[in-house]
Structure 1
């Protein structure tokens, strides 16, 4: 197995663009890669957060220190069925309850965002209790009433932190409890491979008996199946396979079964018929996008988001501007673009992305010269929200490049936000310097199907930026539309994302109203191909051969439709509750509006004192990072952008506290109050924290220092107190700035609205001394020279890829090429110059020359000289 390198754990991450890793030496990285690269971004984020304990890591019941109750897992059975598109897993867990008293227990399990719990069964005392979906409020009321009456009850809800939680009430003492959960999810993918994965943190860390029985049933022959770390019985027979694994020492390593099917470029379909005569369809598409770089002719939207905080000043911002100039010349005339700058506030060149042409390119060049590190702190969430909230053009897949050197105050909120937009936006991130937030850089790109680079040496910035641009320019299939041949299908997802190189796409449809005499229909997929031509795939679907052994595709499709409806509720505030509840009840799915609940009437009501068992130890929680941007964006009066010594005292008191987890939601507190109420609320909470053994007098600012107007400034404490980095982030969203070390932080500004046509006068740019030979201008081809020939050539390229002006002496056009236009000859000479004089910097100009070559070839084709490109380029090379 060979995989593109993308380190799953942040501890070893350097780059995702290294093409191949060694299989034997880095087998764990390969396993992590199968869970992380080119699978659904939400799954990538889920598994990474399991690794870092940001999502509670253990499945099931467990005692917490300080309680006498004990639940011990004795057996864990996994029965799973894998198809071309779905995985249906049944987890059966047996526990021994040694408590002498009745127990209300909490069962908690990590649940990937795309997975759906479709069945929940609890067995004890020879009773088999199956949960049923009810509307959330009704389910909670029924559970509470049952527990209060001394009956056994079970309630399952979906949590926002990546888990689902089950409350099990009034479990009888000293009984064995068996819990069975059925989970339906989309099959994992990596390049042409499929994979089934169980993360080691989804199991307890102590020894227990594990039995895995995996059945694989595909529509195409299976080439091979591999399983690392464990000795398993693997049997492959044509399109079917079985994997059997037994362990007695728990799960110390991830269980990853990599399945390689026979590949096919054409979409494959799967149709499923339910007992009530409805159909669900799944389409699996892994296209081959092998197109030469100079043949790629596709539309794309490029947004460049540049960190202009104070810490970027000096050579770093100048390097970033140089990179931006190279990036701009790498675009094609089928691109849209915009440039955004962020710090404590943010601004953009245009109100919306503009088509790339000579006019907008010149405007961008002027804008880039005006950029400086003058925007204060590092607040990335507001500009990202502003960018993603803009309408998406399906013909122009949106790709965002972020260059930053700092940390942000809302990393997790930001990563969660972009993860939900992976279908609309792809993010490439460049982290600059040793102080950059590496988890942020990785998280943004992994959550949105992008790649990232870290730069320790600014001299390599251009090369590493252009590595990312080369990936962004790889072939894409975009503007994908599905014609269901007149069938009343509810499609999931509702909007089809682009397919980037080396990616697989799954589409689903739910057909609940079935036409009479349904036999064969032809589904047609149309899209914009990477060479500029439309592509079309026809998929004849034979409904007579629909399989009916399971309901997995129905369940998965319904769950995806529910997710679309839930997102619509968030963004558009649409009232989709009725539709969500209807789907949830029909397919037994947990949602924002539905929960599992079961109530069992006890033979004898439980009267003994019931213990509440905290099942899972709280994992290490990252330092609190609270979002106060809503004050400056939406609150009519900003509660914490207020001149008050009370606020100042509170800020310095909190900043001086030692690092630890604070169990107060001050963000919500402030959001719900006006100015005076918010300050009183926060001060009251801070008074409650005196148990942290801090000397308040050491950290309270001088009360006499009153702040000006709406600006917050740092107050000097009466006694020097070493600040803890983590708690200080509490107020970081409106006080944190990254400025030069010798300068005090500037006043924090409220996030500004997008500024239209930010075209201020350019500031002088100091170019690095050129190491290349000097050239004089040729008569009639004069342009100013900065002393850096490579950048001069890049800056003088036209939007279509050609040159008509250079800063070196241009060789005369040979008489044999009299029919060749002057611009063609100049462009050939520039291409030859890049190849001859700047071979060591090829990564920087490769895309620029590819665009130029494409333009020259188009001119030659128009003159019936298409086969002469190599000959003419050789003449230009020998002439310079």
Structure 2
């Protein structure tokens, strides 16, 4: 199938997609999503529309149909090449056809081709998928409808072709979006929150186990639609048995019952209160051009790269003495602070922080594969388990290559991943964590990066769970086939899902159990869950489809690994996908309208439906700057192609086109600023004050250094200011910088110090009192470094803790108890 390109719609040319309607049904931690895309051809010629859009990376697309007038046609799942040929043949013969296919490079990108839509006619496309909802740090369940699709950077030399995306600002997206959700659970629904505007939550019954919510009208497409759903007592293990499909053959996956087990392991508090003092912590930071964009979609908001720098400060201050660490950063190339991981000390920490302060989003594209390969090529340090932390806005086209590499090295490390900003690839972020035995986090909307990252650091510092095994106790005559890959990681408070096929006869009154055994800190432990064989009602084959998707994903990865057997594995995936009706990378949904009717005459106009791209780069360009992507196209009959640059794969912040656009935008800003600077220089020192006032009123983000150069005004957060002064050992020094961070003078701090107390002990207790007294809302961010400070204080045997706490409260105007400090 040739690479189709359409006219860009920056001139507001009419496109056929008119509106998108989304109906969401959430049952406990599983979501069923039905999207209806309404097309209308307002042009005077027949068109073919191509709409590239994102879906959750682990979604199971299970239904696709088209409604043309009063005729409803349900799609078939076929091998991808066969489906493409059928689609092209239909268009060649003047028939209407629709093709839905998953990207070969990334499972969270789909393209929908709507072929031969006559002038003045409408069509409705219905797309349905099911997905699991991830558990967040605050126990909420996260549903994300990606309304933002950033252009994916395709590294040179990587497999396959890049996903084609037409991106426009939110104001030019020519279609509307509506979303309604119904939430139900065995436990009451506490609340539903969102980064987007919602209508009030409506409860449907008195026990509040069912509720509805709607997205407020007028969604601007400037962010993903994210819902956070909270249940009371959410962390309860459950097992759901779903009956097989009546029309399917018994013994097949669709014909047999399938059980979905949701486990929340609880570890002994005595073990969880300990923090590992060993480990090799490797931090990998994205410094591509897009990391200069605003983190929270505000014109003058904090950028992704600046938030990442602050996060690295907290991480480095929170590391335990005795561990090893290194920091890598990447774009089109990659850098590392140390040639190899070094032991954590005051000297190495200071050296690393100095380099971190200099990091900016200036390394071009998003070549994440190279630095990860280099990290894995470094020999592991004996008795220092490797923990990899990856920070990226996730806009890459070679997702599967990256995830496969992490899986091949999963035996030697754990990987924690962080998707920064709107449009980060869920397939990449979730895939890194899943295959690396770690945990994934997304930072979107008004989220702060720091608390989410520190939660993952706490996971990394937990004792490692090893020797995980799953055993089943089932009625006689019933056997079980595991459909999920083996569990490799268990974390306190995090859900683990297990899918299994149940074969054989049993009564609905029968019961079974599943037991997960593991070793934690040298102690054998287990969690057991009993369940009934009585099938759940009205599940609509949701569990089967999620199980199918899990098995398909495992087989796809196996196909990429086993070159000798890849044809056999691919055939198995195609058979499973066709039988279950669930999407895969080797199949596609095809609809052809074969009803009798007049063939559509004339050449087709190609139209790429634009997707909102998230590129508000306050650090790199003025508001409204758009990273426009164009690719080499094949001219087609009746279709004029815009001139294309010779380079087919363009990177964020690095392409000639983008550089040209960026330079022209910056020139617009530079000219008035430089005129003001020149005027200020002529006025010398006498006019400097008025010049600064003039400059500040027109450009609030620009100020002058003493030498007249422009500088960014960004007063440091008081918490980060205090944290930056902590030593690697956990203590603080008594100096003017600490006094200033506490809002006091050096004289006040010195005068309040109890007699016979050393300076570092007094300074450390003051810092702890300030944290507990004034920053409890950010406790997740400083808790680990405070624990390190407490450990240091406990080693100071002669310290008069009670006197210091009393004096510190008097000085700072707080009332923190000694026990609250952990002393």
TM bin, normalised by shorter chain, reads 0.5 to 0.7
1:534 to 513, 521, 524: 524
Q: TM-score, normalised by structure 1?
A: 0.52
RMSD: 6.3
- Cα 1:484–1:62, aligned 2, differ >3 Å: closer, same or farther? farther
Which of 232, 236, 254 is equivalent to 1:262? 232
Partner-residue secondary structure (3-state), 1:554: helix
Deviation at 1:175, TM superposition (A): 2.3
Q: CA deviation at 1:552?
A: 0.7
- How far did 1:151 drift? 2.0
**Contact 1:266–1:537 (CA under 8 A) maintained in structure 2:** no
Of 195-204 and 177-186, deviating more is: 195-204
Matched, 1:608 2:601: yes
**Using CA pairs below 8 Å that are at least 6 residues apart, which structure has the higher relative contact order?**
2
* Larger gyration radius, structure 1 or structure 2: 1
- Aligned partner of 2:203 among 234, 238, 253: 234
Task: Give the 3 Å change call, closer, same or farther, for CA 285–265 of structure 1 in structure 2.
Answer: same
Structure 1 residue 278 corresponds to structure 2 residue 269: no
1:567 aligns with 2:557: yes
What does residue range 457-606 of structure 1 map to in structure 2 within 5 Å?
A: 472-473=460-461, 480-485=468-473, 489-491=480-482, 493-500=484-491, 504-511=494-501, 513-514=503-504, 519-529=510-520, 533-547=523-537, 549-571=539-561, 573=563, 575=566, 576-606=569-599
Q: What is the aligned partner in structure 1 of residue 704 from structure 2?
A: none
The offset of 1:157, in angstroms, is 0.7
Equivalent of 2:18 in 43, 68, 73: 73
1:264–1:286 contact (8 Å) kept in structure 2? no
Change (3 A) 1:490 1:429: same
Q: Distance in 1 between matches of 2:140 and 2:726?
A: 46
Equivalent position SS for 1:263: coil
- Give distance in 2, aligned partners of 1:139 and 1:109: 19
Q: Within 5 Å, which residues of 2 pair with 1:398-797? A: 398-400=386-388, 412=396, 421=406, 425-427=414-416, 449=439, 472-473=460-461, 480-485=468-473, 489-491=480-482, 493-500=484-491, 504-511=494-501, 513-514=503-504, 519-529=510-520, 533-547=523-537, 549-571=539-561, 573=563, 575=566, 576-617=569-610, 663=630, 685=646
Q: Is the 8 A contact 1:274 1:548 kept in 2?
A: no
Query: Cα distance 1:109–1:207, how it changes in 2: closer, same or farther (>3 A)?
Result: closer
Mapped contact 2:281–2:388 kept (Cα < 8 A): yes
Partner Cα distance (1:117, 1:495) in 2: 24
CA 1:550–1:478: 2 relative to 1, 3 Å = farther
Retained in 1: the 8 A contact 2:199–2:213?
A: no
Q: Which residue of 2 aligns with 1:95?
A: 39
* Change over 3 Å in CA distance of 1:545–1:389 after alignment to 2: farther
Match of 2:230, SS state, is strand
In structure 2, the residue matched to 1:740 is: none
> What residue number does 1:179 align with?
125
* 1:132 positional shift: 0.7
- Tell me whether 1:329 sits opposite 2:326 in the alignment: no
C-alpha change, 1:662 and 1:350, in structure 2 (3 Å) is closer
SS at match of 2:120: coil
Measured in 2, the distance between the counterparts of 1:62 and 1:289 equals 57
- The answer to whether the Cα contact below 8 Å between 1:296 and 1:532 also exists between their aligned partners in 2 is no
- CA shift for structure 1 position 130: 0.8
CA contact (8 A) 2:87 2:592 kept: yes
Shift of 1:113: 1.0
Compute the displacement of 1:144 (Å).
1.6
| Closer/same/farther in 2, CA of residues 329 and 273 from structure 1, 3 Å limit | same
| CA-CA distance at 1:593 after TM superposition | 0.6
Q: Which runs of 5+ in 2 are unaligned?
A: 1-5, 150-169, 249-254, 288-308, 434-438, 444-450, 617-624, 634-644, 666-724, 732-756, 769-781, 806-823
The whole-number CA distance in structure 1 between the counterparts of 2:338 and 2:178 is 58
Q: 2 CA distance for matches of 1:306 and 1:273?
A: 45
TM-score, normalised on structure 2? 0.55
Could you tell me which residue of structure 2 aligns to residue 860 of structure 1? none
Q: Is the 8 A contact 2:29 2:141 kept in 1?
A: no
- Cα deviation, 1:473-506, whole Å, max 9, x if unaligned, reads 36776664322347755545414353445x5324
Deviations 1:199-258 (A, max 9, x none): 56599956768473x333323344455675324643244374141648765667876554
1:111 to 49, 55, 61: 55
Deviations 1:614-635 (A, max 9, x none): 1413666989xxxxxxxxxxxx
- 1:417 is displaced (CA, Å) by 6.8
* Unaligned stretches of 5+ residues in structure 1: 1-60, 310-316, 332-336, 354-359, 432-436, 454-462, 624-657, 667-683, 696-720, 727-787, 795-830, 857-868
Matching residue of 2:165: none
Q: Is the 8 A contact 1:284 1:504 kept in 2?
A: no
Contact 1:528 1:535 in 2 (8 A): yes
Aligned partner of 2:65 among 111, 121, 139: 121
Partner of residue 147, structure 1: 91
Q: Determine the C-alpha separation between the residues in 1 that align with 2:7 and 2:228.
A: 31
Between the aligned partners of 2:730 and 2:51, the Cα distance in structure 1 is 64
Alignment length, in residue pairs? 590
- The DSSP-based 3-state class of the residue aligned with 2:573 is helix
Q: Does 1:136 align with 2:80?
A: yes
| 1:279–1:511 CA contact under 8 A, matched in 2 | yes
- Cα distance in 2, alignment partners of residues 429 and 200 from structure 1: 19
Distance 2:316 2:87 in 1: 59
Q: Contact 2:9–2:610 (CA<8 Å) still a contact in 1?
A: yes
CA distance in 2, matches of 1:248, 1:610: 38
C-alpha contact 1:152 1:602 (8 A) present in aligned 2: no
